[in-house]
Structure formats: C-alpha cells, structure tokens
Chain A
C-alpha cells in the first residue's frame, strides 16, 4: 500500500481542498502527493500557528482544511488551538509526524514526544496514533468524525508507520 497516496485519496474523498504544511522528513512523500493533486490548494506555512490561521480562514470561506506538521508543533500551537480552533468550534484534521517514538534516531525528538499525548489529552483533542501501516484504514473515518464534530483532531503517525528512517 502507498500510504501517501491513501492519505491524500482520503482527503479528496472527504472534500478537503485546502492543505497547509510545515515539513518533516517523514512527511515529505505525503506533502509531495498533496502538491500534485489538482483538487487541493497546497500552501506551505512558515509556522504551524500561522497555518492554523490560514485553515480557520479557509473553513470560513467554505473550504475543508487540513494541516500537516510535526509533533513539535503542539508546543507552538496550544494557544491557537484553544483560542481559535476550539473557541470558535472549527474542524481541523492534523496529520502529525510523531517524532521521538520507536525507531527515532534523534534523541532530542524524544523530549517533545514524551509530552505530545499528554498535551493533546489536556487540550481534550481527540487523538489517534498510527503505528502500523494498516492503521491508515481508519483515516477516512477520522476525517468524517472531524467534520462531524467541528473539532481539531490529531492523527499521530510514528516512524514505524512510515517505515522507519532507513540508514539515518
């Protein structure tokens, strides 16, 4: 299964047409796939809270948005999630590269990984963790759930899900 294609196919099937991204090595393939789809407007952000602002505007303009980012971004976006996305009740699927989990080669990434789920739980953000490639089967349901309940929803995708880091 091509995970990148499956994720973006599910975006398209759920009428997501506005995607902002902040890159991560793990996410390069899915970002490239987003870029190549005609039905999706891809706008890279310089910072994740900026991206959430863009998504809020896109939602109010009638588009279904999504953001793709690293889990380090949770540290950057707590205020935006609370005072914009949640306060105004806006849907936002967040595809999150879960750095610092099993098969992670960079020790510093673990320092945010150990806080990631606790922070999301503290924020009452529905959170799903994709560890096996087969977990991606749930993605379509998660997107439907997100736009049903008008909440930010986190999909944590770890190194094992993406197939590891190769020789790094």
Chain B
C-alpha cells in the first residue's frame, strides 16, 4: 500500500479526532480524502507535525494524532526524546514510513535503509512503540487512540504518490476552524 491508500483506510478511524497532518502530499491527500475541521494541515515547516501535535496533546484532553513521515521525523529527530520524557496518554504519533521523501520525488531516506525509526523511538525512551505493516495499521491505530498510553506507530509501506491539487485554504482559516473544533 502507498500512503494515500493508508490514509483512505484510516480516515473513518481518525475522522472524529484531532489530527495534525504532515506538510506536502500527506496533507493534500487527507484534505482530498476526508476534509474535516478537526484536521490541521501543515502547509510548510517540514518536521514539526509531531511537535505541533504533542504541544496540542499536552494542552487539552482530547486524543491527538500526529501523522508524520519518516523523512520528516529524521528532520526533527530531537522530537522523540521530548515526547518520551513528557508522556501524555492522549497522544499518538503515526509515522508513515515509506522509506522515501515522497513530496519531493521519492528520494530514499535513511529510514528505508539501515535506520530503524522504531528502534530510535525506543532508544529515546518511548515506551509504547509498535512497528506495523500497512495492511495491519487500522486496528493498531484504533487501539492506540482508545488506550490511555501514548503510542508511537511506525507504519511500513510502499513509496508512491497520487496526483492531486495543493490545498488552497487560507492558513488562518485552517487554524481558526481547527481551534473551534478543539474547543467544541
């Protein structure tokens, strides 16, 4: 499965939850598949999906899912010790690991070579780390959201993209409707 197929499959699971979605194609795909006010689309700032989602999870009680990519986590690897050492049970970090920088033309990442992000997360102190194959993600993600434990999921999948338009929503509109959804 490629990332867009995974997002299509998990859309019903994450629909009612606060989602911070990674820059580029992941946000464009989620926007196309199931646009929701509970989705915060990153239009820039590669690497910070996990940090934005974690700050949100620490600041209110609803479950938060950060959808991140292997390349983006490698950009902001310092996020993993921060998350591990400030654990909050309402947070799930979903790393869709296709071993490539998808939005820039599928150049290979180190996560697709010798580096295991799951092992890195464990070494950083994350206590509940699950590596899962794409087709098995749904139940694992649902269980992570339902549990009171913070979970890092590394979902291994194929590299590949679909053609789709950029998001033309104004960033302030994205932020405003998201904040209204957080409050509701």
**Residues of B25-75 contacting chain A, CB below 8 A:** 40, 42-45, 47-48, 50-60
Q: Please name all residues of chain A whose beta carbon is closer than 8 Å to the beta carbon of B60 when the two chains form the complex.
A: 61-62
Is the C-beta of B81 less than 8 angstroms from some C-beta in chain A?
yes
Q: Please name all residues of chain B whose beta carbon is closer than 8 Å to the beta carbon of A56 when the two chains form the complex.
A: 48, 51-52, 55
Pairwise interchain contact A83-B43, C-beta atoms closer than 8 A = yes
**Known contacts A61-B60, A62-B183; A89/B172 CB under 8 A:** yes
What's the nearest-Cβ distance from chain A to residue B135, in Å?
Answer: 31
Q: Please name all residues of chain A whose beta carbon is closer than 8 Å to the beta carbon of B171 when the two chains form the complex.
A: 87-89
Contact of B55 among A44, A53, A80 (CB under 8 A): A53
- How would residues 46 to 64 of chain A score, 1 for a CB under 8 Å from any chain B CB and 0 otherwise? 1101111111111111110
Q: Please name all residues of chain A whose beta carbon is closer than 8 Å to the beta carbon of B76 when the two chains form the complex.
A: 47, 49-50, 53
Number of interface residues of B (CB under 8 A): 33
Is the C-beta of A112 less than 8 angstroms from some C-beta in chain B?
no
Pairwise interchain contact A54-B54, C-beta atoms closer than 8 A = yes
**Residues of A13-52 contacting chain B, CB below 8 A:** 18, 41, 43-47, 49-52
Closest to B75 in A: A49
Closest to A64 in B: B59
Pairwise interchain contact B175-A60, C-beta atoms closer than 8 A = yes
Task: Give 14 CB contacts A-B under 8 Å.
Answer: A18-B59, A45-B82, A46-B82, A47-B76, A52-B48, A53-B79, A57-B53, A60-B55, A60-B175, A61-B60, A87-B44, A87-B171, A88-B175, A89-B171
Extra 20 A-B pairs, beta carbons < 8 Å, given A53-B51, A57-B51? A43-B58, A45-B82, A46-B79, A47-B76, A49-B76, A52-B48, A53-B45, A53-B47, A54-B54, A55-B55, A57-B53, A58-B55, A60-B178, A60-B179, A61-B58, A63-B59, A87-B43, A88-B171, A88-B175, A89-B172
Measured CB to CB, the residues of A under 8 A from B are 18, 41, 43-47, 49-63, 65, 79-80, 82-84, 87-90
